[in-house]
Amino acid sequence: MQTLPTNIIINGELVTPDTLAAWRIGKKGILSDLADFLAAWYAPEATMLLHTSGSTGTPTTFPAAKAAMLASARMSCRVFGLTEGQQALLCLPLQYVAGKMMVVRALAAGLHLLVREPSSTPLERLFTPVDFTAMVPMQAARTLAHPGGAEALGRIRTLLLGGGFIDPGLEAALQSLPCRIYASYGMTETLSHIALRRVNGPDASDAYTPLPGVHLRRDEAGALQLSVQHLGINHLQTNDMAELLPDGRFLILGRRDAVINSGGIKIQAEKLENKLQALVSGISVLALPAPHPELGECVALLWEGPAEAEQDVYRACEQELPKHHRPHHILRVTLPRTDSGKPARAAARDMLPLLLTGNTPSPGTFRKRLIRTLAELQQSEWWEKARDPKVQASICNTAESWLHQFGKKNKVALRLSEAIRMLRRSLKDNKFATPRNIIILTAVILYTITPLDGIPDILPVVGWLDDLGLLALALKTVMDAIPNRSRHHSRKDPSPTDDNDSTNPPALS
């Protein structure tokens, strides 16, 4: 085994195998993690364990050769022109390959490693010039939004962005910075990046340029295969759909496992996601396949962001997406994420059936009580009041006034807001819901808001039942009975052959 470099300067202090034990005393957070990594690096074993993030599948662990990690680091240092004595900033967690390889680069090139606790704004109160650092796009975006953030980023000579989609708005904002900014293509199995594209400057491009010694080909389905000479990788199969350009560069089109086959039309989920995130600022989205009785699969869109963005999301889906790509289900949720902050597609795919049925994982007895409560609600004074057209006409304004007074951030308020929107539409378009469903919505909204309005009507069977459960059941009951065309805001089904509507009930977010 070749001799590995061992000496490293961390925050101005020299650390060697002989001084590591004393240096790590009292270290916490990322410095403690760094001590653990160095101990593993100094150990006699030729390999060390690396962990994949699980952003597209189940997280896995595999042994990586230290010699291969060193070869990858030396290639990066040559490409970026990093030399001994220059300063590199570590601001990524050390659980994954991106953070680990920053340390190996410092070991390989004799860089002085400046370590900051990982955060969304790692350059805050940092005035020292930095020759090289790697960040995720979120850190760059939050830094730019922070006072003095553009100046702080500008003091970095070379910035490497990886681990996530770079929003077009962020990419545009980075154009004015004087530093060199690159986006990386790679994965844990390739020990960080094996291709780069310039984000800013005259050489900016959407295409990636492979590093020296990297050879590419596509399989029959169009997914990328990699051979990396200096890493000993031969024909590594990826799930990334790619277009190979005549000059040797390549474009990433999206992941093979993110393709949605809707009635024979192949929809690249990541391309759809990137377009929506470019159209609606401040949101994160995942497009997933949902079952459809005629198309086989249709698009279910899970999005995370402020409630105020909802209309923009719907508008973008209706007006900016091709007809056959428009989602059948649009759900505002909290997206599951990996430890590194990326949306976890596999976990979201697992939770989708639960979202589409509107169920929550609760005991069966609770579900039975909800159903019985809705039946008993029909015998209550709320039910009788809800029959009155005057009450139906005024309930939305009254409920929205309640929301304005008591806030909109808790779960009950979010469900109530959803019920109000549905009731308004029901009263405006009698095809949207039957008279019975209008009464259900009116009664449930009345029940939710009247205790705080001081009306003494009390439903005896709901003392043990929270408002959220009743609202959820009422909304699902109404949605299950609504004609499908009305469920999707009178949008025609994006079938490639006809305009029949989906028979799948849309989910409640």
C-alpha distances in angstroms, 454 versus 405, 410, 448, 449, 457? 15, 21, 12, 9, 9
Confidence class of residue 193 from pLDDT cuts 50, 70 and 90? very high
- 8-211 architecture in CATH? 3-Layer(aba) Sandwich (3.40)
The neighbouring-strand residues paired with 8 are 15
Topology of domain 263-357 in CATH is GMP Synthetase; Chain A, domain 3 (3.30.300)
Task: Report domain extents, the chain.
Answer: 8-211, 263-357, 364-487
Q: Do 332 and 128 touch, CB atoms closer than 8 A?
A: no
C-alpha distances in angstroms, 355 versus 232, 393, 422? 44, 31, 18
Mean pLDDT of the region 475-503: 44
Tokens 């969304």 label which residue?
120
Give the H/E segment covering residue 52: none
Which is it for the CA torsion 77, 80, 86, 87, positive or negative? Answer: negative
- What is the model's pLDDT at position 465? 40
- What is the model's pLDDT at position 424? 80
Residues 6+ away with beta carbon under 8 Å from 256: 221, 222, 223, 239, 240, 241
Question: Is residue 485 pLDDT above 50, yes or no?
Answer: no
Residue length of the chain: 509
Question: Is residue 282 pLDDT above 70, yes or no?
Answer: yes
Mean pLDDT of the region 142-168: 90
Question: Is residue 197 pLDDT above 80, yes or no?
Answer: yes
Output 489 or 410, whichever has higher pLDDT.
410
Output 421 or 100, whichever has higher pLDDT.
100
C-alpha distances in angstroms, 483 versus 96, 307, 309, 486, 504? 48, 26, 26, 6, 10
Angle at 351 between CA 346 and CA 354, to 5 degrees: 155
Confidence class of residue 358 from pLDDT cuts 50, 70 and 90? low
pLDDT digits (tens, 9 = 90+) for 121-142: 999 989 889 999 999 888 998 8
Q: Do 154 and 178 touch, CB atoms closer than 8 A?
A: yes
pTM of the model as a whole: 0.60
